Structure 1
Amino acid sequence: MVQKNKLQHSPSGVHLDTDVVTVLLIDDQAIIGEAVSRLLSNEKDIAFHYIDEPAQAIQTAISIAPTVILLDMVMPDIDGLMLLRWFRSHPATYDIPIVMLSSKEEPQIKADAFAAGANDYLIKLPDVVELIARIRYHSQAYNNLKALSAANATSQLQARQLEQTLKELKATQVQLIQTEKMSSLGKMVAGLAHEINNPINFIHGNFIHLHNYIQSLLGLIKLYQQQYPSVNPEIQNHATEINLDFIIEDLPKILSSMRMGTDRIREIVLSLRNFSRLDQADKKAVNIHEGLDSTLLILNHRLKQDIEIIKKYGDLPLVECYPAQLNQVFMNLLSNAIDALLEQPKQEQKQIVIETEKTDSGKIKITIQDNGPGISPELQHKIFDPFFTTKPVNQGTGLGLAISYQIIEKHQGNIYVCSDPSYGTEFMLEIPIQLD
């Protein structure tokens, strides 16, 4: 192989030299190789390589990375057109400019060469000025193409990196909003629960004494009635005026109702504390059903609008999780289900079905299904995107499902949606019983 000058390879990511000219001549006649070498001998910017074995052509081309290939049309072992097709089919050489060399200048031969992928056609041996001009022209075009391809590749890489960065920024923004939201909600709920809990405990604790006092007073009144059957007319008139018999009968009922009311308030306070779980920021084994029930209790004021809750709770073990975060997922999904049902006509039967079960794979599955209007197929793949919402302006941030998705991912689980206008929307959560 004849070689003149050295080819400087450009490593990936380094600026390509568009002035580099590297020529590879493939011809079975050594005299042609010597002749072309002499023609190019005075061109210091051209690195020339020659081989007379076509079988080594592709391997040699891959090795030296020519910017122009001069290829003989007719060779005894491998036809020039066949070798041309091989070059065009190989990923390392498919776009290298190839100039076909032939001793014949017949239109059909030229047409066959161009049809097979040739870039140019010259008669052997061409004029030196024309040969050098064509070599430089094709080499410059090829180097420009490589530079453009490298620039495009860099732009695509930068675009992908930018897209990934934007996704990470969005995810970080959602996490920050989630953290602030949960912190604010937790502090508000904890403060509210604390403020309500103290006076309610005071009232509830005094019911025992109040009940005893009232029973004692009622007992004393009955004793007076037994010991003094002849009642003073003035006392009798006053007893009739205040309806003493009704008071004696109704007062214990009022006391019982008041006690039931304080019990209910205490349940709500406990549910608020269970929902926020500020004292359980770390993962902990909890009863999933308690979290669902606490969330339903908080949403009870919205459920009274003709929405039926159907619970199909399975036999679940304690699940290791981040309770406050998982409760937030329940809140987001149930709130969305209620919003969807409130869009339905009043005469429609509105239902939310909550089902839990333990799977054979050591996970628990929680399904929340409503019979609302459903989610259109073209929107289903977007619902977990941050800030995407189908709700009107000022009625939704588009963060609920995005936050829920991240929380379930943190729990090493999955969240799926299945929706159709014929039956509504179903969200299914799968999380392991124990986190790694």
Structure 2
Amino acid sequence: MVKPLYTVFLLVALPFIVVGQAVVLGNEGKRPIGSDDLLVYKSDTYISIDSALNKPFNRPDADIPNLGSTRGQAWVMFAVENAGREANHILKLANPNYDEVVVYRFLPNMELEERLMISKNVPFGDRKYQDPNYLFDLKVPPGEQRFFYISVKSRTPLIIPMSILLPEQYINTATDEQMLSGIYIGVILIMAVYNFLLFLSVLDRSYLYYVGYVLAIGLTQMGLKGVNFQFLWSDSPDFERLSVVLFASIAGIAALIFTINFLEIKTYFRRIHVLLLGLVILFCVAIVVLAFDNYLAFMIMQSATTLTAVSVLIVAVYVAYNRPKATQARFFVSAWSVLLVGSLIFMLKDYGLLPYNTFTVYSVQAASAIEMALLSFALADKINVYKKEKEESQEQALLTLKENERLVREQNVVLEQRVQERTHALQETNTSLQDALNHLKETQAQLVEAEKMASLGQLTAGVAHEINNPINFVTSNVAPLKRDIRIVWDAMEAIQRVALSDLPVNEKEHQINSYKEEQDIEYLKTEIDFLLKGMHDGANRTAEIVKSLRIFSRVDEDSLKFADINEGLDSTLVILNSVIREGIHVDRQYAKLPMVECYPGKLNQVFLNIITNAIYAINKKFNGNSGGILEICTVADGENVSISIQDNGTGMPQDIKEKIFEPFFTTKEVGEGTGLGMSIVYNTIKKHKGEITIESQVGEGTKFTIVIPIIQQNG
């Protein structure tokens, strides 16, 4: 309620201030409200109606008040006198970008009759009139007068076009506005879809950037017209307050990236490229600030948009001047010139220098549509450029091909002569290389054979040593056994003589027992059993060694056979038993393995070479003392068999690990190895389609892991 002192003042003063300049409504209907009809006041802070009634209002400079930007609000006051017959009139504020509009209607005695408000803080559907502009019922009865105070808050410039309409006039106006917006949206969608299809065809990112620019600028323009809030996110007022700045910033970024890519700025104009990237960053800043301060974000976006429009036009002119063949630059100049002209017409309308009509109101949208069409023509022209470049390239390629054919014909004669000369030289060289290759193969075969002979020598020495012990044991028992058997034969003859004599039975028994005690027959029986047992053990040991030798040697090594891997490892250990000193503990951890399809003899050679190296490393570290451990493990996983041989010997550094499988590489002293053992190991495992890996640390030992398939696949 207005304060009493203000009421008294207004009751006395307002008739002299307002009544003479009231908006008089007749029967003709539509009536614009111009500078002669109203007073305005701009506040940098938010004030109440009570404070506004006490502020000094001024007459605007133009029929369409333009109060600029403010964080506060604008106030408009005017009087309406209804001199016609119609009681229903609509007050239209034709600017959908306000954040909030509040209309205060006062009776002639300055009593507040009604307060009406439309705000973007509530869903669009809450409005009485489903129109993006701000519409209010005047409710001035025929023959009466009312006073109006209007509060307008907006983050955009406070441009306030107002008019009074009859309901049927509003319907016609709204239909025309929706038709124009629909035409603009249709142009946007056609340009976007058409150029997106072109992008899918030519895969030039310029088309994709253009589509992004068209969609963003379309959303921006429709946001400025309030169409987005009305149809797209009517239930999201919070997003609506951000949408114009957001899409305008995205449109600016897309326009700059499209310009950089389409005009090839980065390739030909590095400094300009940096300038345009700076404007991209400015738009990004506006988007970030939008989350904290809507008004400041709008000011940054507006400044960036102005700089971008001017900069892109200048850049396009500069590119067109410096690259006359770049026809796309000329399209850019035309397109951005049209857009700037349309924006200029729109601004001149706001400042009252041009009339407020459909053309000036929609000048930006019309210019934007023309600009997008010209840019689309530029993209279409780029296809022609591609086609022309392709034709020129094909023509140049044809000329080059003909020139090459001529050169080829000329060179053929020379080449034929040189080929004959070179062929003769190559034949001689080939003969020489073939001889060298044959010699190399013979040498390699000899070296491999030498390695095998070395292994055979080691095998022979081990077998001889192993067999010699039990054979010696048997041999040493033969002489005592002959002696004991001779004694047995002598005893049998003596007992026979006594048995055949005529002596009484008692006497015979006495002589026989005396003879047995004299010859110690019981001890003789024990000694014979012991000697026979020793010879039996020696023979069994010899048979075991021969069996291991037979398993190890496997004469069928050139064909795939199913073999017991654990048995092959045991036979190898038996062969090497003579070189495994007492200080080396052999730990066998065998899993139950299936029969493996392999080359048994070759695999045993692999085991022999690896275990021999392990024993060498252990002996080198412990020098015959206790502490050496040789661990052999086998595992099966369904498809493969894994054999690991690990020692705690000297280990090897990384550089030796990398060379261990190279032919002729060895760390042993001269005469102790040929360097082919591990090369044979590697090739044998590859022949089995398996893998071999090494884990080793200096001073701690080495672990070889072999993985081979249980069944060898053909091919």
Normalised by the length of structure 2, the TM-score is: 0.32
Pairwise mapping of residues 128-277 of structure 1 onto structure 2 (< 5 A)? 177-178=447-448, 182=452, 224=495, 228-230=509-511, 239=518, 244-277=521-554
**Residue ranges of structure 1 left out of the alignment (5+ in a row):** 1-54, 56-73, 79-165
Q: Which is further off, 275-284 or 405-414? A: 275-284
Q: 8 Å contact 1:189–1:276 — kept in the other structure? A: no
Which residue is 1:412 aligned to? 689
- Once residues 351 and 395 of structure 1 are traced to their aligned partners in structure 2, the CA distance between those partners, rounded to angstroms, is 22
Structure 1 position 229, deviation (Å): 2.5
Structure 1 position 175, deviation (Å): 6.0
Structure 1 position 359, deviation (Å): 2.1
Structure 1 position 249, deviation (Å): 1.4
Q: How many residues align?
A: 263
Which residue is 1:352 aligned to? 630
Which residue is 1:321 aligned to? 598
What are the superposed Cα offsets for residues 1-25 of structure 1, whole Å, 9 maximum, x if unpaired? xxxxxxxxxxxxxxxxxxxxxxxxx
Structure 1 position 230, deviation (Å): 2.7
**Residue ranges of structure 2 left out of the alignment (5+ in a row):** 1-263, 265-321, 327-435, 499-505
Q: 8 Å contact 1:419–1:425 — kept in the other structure? A: yes
Partner residue of 2:324 out of 51, 76, 97: 76
- Once residues 420 and 344 of structure 1 are traced to their aligned partners in structure 2, the CA distance between those partners, rounded to angstroms, is 13
Q: 8 Å contact 2:451–2:677 — kept in the other structure? A: no
Q: Could you say if the C-alpha distance between residues 245 and 415 of structure 1 is closer, same or farther in structure 2, counting changes exceeding 3 Å? A: same
Q: 8 Å contact 1:174–1:403 — kept in the other structure? A: no
Alignment RMSD: 4.5
What are the superposed Cα offsets for residues 348-398 of structure 1, whole Å, 9 maximum, x if unpaired? 5111000000125x1000000000010111211000000000000001111
Structure 1 position 321, deviation (Å): 0.4
Q: Which has the higher helix share?
A: 2
Q: Could you say if the C-alpha distance between residues 408 and 167 of structure 1 is closer, same or farther in structure 2, counting changes exceeding 3 Å? A: farther
- Once residues 430 and 358 of structure 1 are traced to their aligned partners in structure 2, the CA distance between those partners, rounded to angstroms, is 9
Sequence identity percentage: 34
The one-letter amino acid paired with 2:510 is: P
Q: 8 Å contact 2:630–2:647 — kept in the other structure? A: yes
Pairwise mapping of residues 331-370 of structure 1 onto structure 2 (< 5 A)? 331-345=608-622, 346-360=624-638, 362-370=639-647
Q: 8 Å contact 1:312–1:356 — kept in the other structure? A: yes
The one-letter amino acid paired with 1:397 is: T
Which residue is 2:588 aligned to? 311
Structure 1 position 305, deviation (Å): 3.2
Q: 8 Å contact 1:272–1:294 — kept in the other structure? A: yes
- Once residues 603 and 673 of structure 2 are traced to their aligned partners in structure 1, the CA distance between those partners, rounded to angstroms, is 20
Structure 1 position 217, deviation (Å): 5.0
- Once residues 628 and 454 of structure 2 are traced to their aligned partners in structure 1, the CA distance between those partners, rounded to angstroms, is 32
State the SS of the aligned residue for 2:548: helix
State the SS of the aligned residue for 1:330: helix
Q: Could you say if the C-alpha distance between residues 186 and 419 of structure 1 is closer, same or farther in structure 2, counting changes exceeding 3 Å? A: closer
Which residue is 2:671 aligned to? 394
Q: 8 Å contact 1:218–1:248 — kept in the other structure? A: no
Structure 1 position 334, deviation (Å): 0.4
What are the superposed Cα offsets for residues 187-218 of structure 1, whole Å, 9 maximum, x if unpaired? 9989x99xx9xxx9xx99xx9xx99x96x959
- Once residues 188 and 376 of structure 1 are traced to their aligned partners in structure 2, the CA distance between those partners, rounded to angstroms, is 27
Q: Could you say if the C-alpha distance between residues 168 and 286 of structure 1 is closer, same or farther in structure 2, counting changes exceeding 3 Å? A: farther
Structure 1 position 76, deviation (Å): 2.1
State the SS of the aligned residue for 2:672: coil
Q: 8 Å contact 1:174–1:386 — kept in the other structure? A: no
Q: Could you say if the C-alpha distance between residues 284 and 343 of structure 1 is closer, same or farther in structure 2, counting changes exceeding 3 Å? A: same
- Once residues 532 and 450 of structure 2 are traced to their aligned partners in structure 1, the CA distance between those partners, rounded to angstroms, is 43
Pairwise mapping of residues 10-159 of structure 1 onto structure 2 (< 5 A)? 75-77=323-325
Larger radius of gyration: 2
Structure 1 position 270, deviation (Å): 1.2
Q: Which is further off, 400-409 or 246-255? A: 246-255
State the SS of the aligned residue for 1:229: helix
- Once residues 244 and 315 of structure 1 are traced to their aligned partners in structure 2, the CA distance between those partners, rounded to angstroms, is 51
Q: Could you say if the C-alpha distance between residues 435 and 172 of structure 1 is closer, same or farther in structure 2, counting changes exceeding 3 Å? A: farther
Q: Which has the higher contact order (CA 8 A, sep 6+)?
A: 1
The one-letter amino acid paired with 1:317 is: P
Normalised by the length of structure 1, the TM-score is: 0.51
What are the superposed Cα offsets for residues 226-258 of structure 1, whole Å, 9 maximum, x if unpaired? 95333698x689x45xx6543321111111111
Q: 8 Å contact 2:651–2:702 — kept in the other structure? A: yes
